[in-house]
Amino acid sequence: MDYQQTNVSGVRWRRFSNISINNPLNATPVVSCAEQEVVSLSSDAIAYGVGTLEFPFDPGFVFPLLDPLTNEPTGATAAGAAVYQLVYSYVLAKAMERDAKAAEEGENRAEAMRLSAAYLAQQPGA
């Protein structure tokens, strides 16, 4: 039995909720894109999964570049190899940033331990 029926209006679109790259050793990487359908009503949005787009990475695949705000073609193209270079560079830069921060924190921790040991060594009865 249905009840409290109300007529509503809104907008519906698809989006990728998750994009991942499986990069196995000595094999072709595979890109997986989880798709969502979104229904936006006047005061709420509902998203639900509708499937997955999955494909092997192809460095030679050439595709048109789109404006992310309008979805309109920009007139330029790119190849999978350029995407690989961008993702590789971005991820490596983030890894290096993380590693530098961890090294700095490790140096700070080592200095704090050295200072603590020096302080304790100066205490009476040490």
Q: Which domain holds residue 109?
A: 58-126
Indicate if 86 and 115 belong to the same structural domain: yes
Indicate if 45 and 105 belong to the same structural domain: no
Choosing from 37, 57, 77, the residue where a domain stops is 57
pLDDT computed for residue 62 by the predictor: 98
- Give per-residue pLDDT as tens, 76-111: 999 999 999 999 999 999 999 999 998 888 777 777
pTM of the model: 0.71
Indicate if 107 and 91 belong to the same structural domain: yes
pLDDT computed for residue 126 by the predictor: 62
Choosing from 21, 41, 57, the residue where a domain stops is 57
Indicate if 49 and 79 belong to the same structural domain: no
Residues 6+ apart with CB under 8 A from 87: 21
- Give per-residue pLDDT as tens, 22-38: 999 999 999 999 999 99
